[in-house]
């Protein structure tokens, strides 16, 4: 049970730090989504460079390269879509004099962005794994 009494400087500092972290959550989620978009854009270039060469090398006929390439392209596309959904503005409405409703709207917005970013991260990992499989299949072709 918490002790009642005046707030100590350490407690005040901790409370203020936690409030600052809370205020920055949505901004950090959106910054993370932007970073993922930049990474995927670059990795799309790598994947397409490996898969879409004009002279059609023999490794493109390997089923593992075809399947992993398809999975990679799809996963990176899903990553971009989910990351963009994190960044898209969304209209929210609430009563300005109802702090409980404002908190619920904030928690809903934060939760939605966090879930979408987690899905984007999962898709990104799948895309990276597919890219690694494509590259390894090319290196090990015999």
pLDDT in tens, the chain (142 residues): 455 667 788 777 777 777 777 778 888 888 998 999 999 988 888 887 777 765 667 777 888 988 999 999 999 999 999 999 998 887 878 787 777 888 888 888 889 999 999 999 999 999 999 999 998 998 887 5
Which pLDDT belongs to residue 2?
A: 56
Does 17 reside within a domain?
Answer: no
- Joined together, the tokens standing for residue 40 give 């995927």
- This prediction's pTM: 0.72
What count of other Cβ atoms lies within 10 Å of the Cβ of residue 47?
A: 22
Does 21 reside within a domain?
Answer: no
Burial state string for 57-68 with b = 16 or more CB within 10 A and e = fewer than 16? eebbebeebeeb
Which pLDDT belongs to residue 117?
A: 94
Which pLDDT belongs to residue 72?
A: 93
Which pLDDT belongs to residue 122?
A: 97
Does 14 reside within a domain?
Answer: no
Does 1 reside within a domain?
Answer: no
Q: How many domains would you assign to the chain?
A: 1
Q: What is the pLDDT of residues 46-70, one digit of tens each?
A: 887 777 765 667 777 888 988 999 9
Mean per-residue pLDDT of the chain? 84
- Joined together, the tokens standing for residue 135 give 């590259």
Q: Closest Cα partner for 29 from 106, 131, 129, 125?
A: 106
Q: Which domain holds residue 97?
A: 32-139
């Amino acid at each position: 049970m918490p002790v009642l009494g005046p707030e100590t400087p350490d407690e005040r500092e901790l409370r203020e730090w936690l409030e600052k972290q809370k205020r920055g959550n949505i901004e950090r989620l959106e910054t993370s989504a932007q970073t993922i978009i930049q990474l995927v854009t670059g990795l799309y270039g790598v994947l397409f460079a490996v898969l879409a060469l004009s002279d059609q090398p023999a490794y493109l006929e390997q089923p593992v390269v075809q399947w992993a390439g398809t999975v990679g392209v799809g996963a990176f596309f899903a990553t971009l879509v989910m990351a963009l959904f994190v960044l898209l503005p969304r209209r929210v409405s609430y009563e300005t004099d109802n702090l409980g409703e404002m908190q619920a709207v904030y928690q809903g917005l934060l939760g939605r962005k966090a879930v979408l970013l987690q899905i984007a991260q999962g898709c990104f990992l799948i895309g990276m794994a597919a890219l690694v499989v494509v590259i390894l299949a090319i290196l090990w072709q015999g």
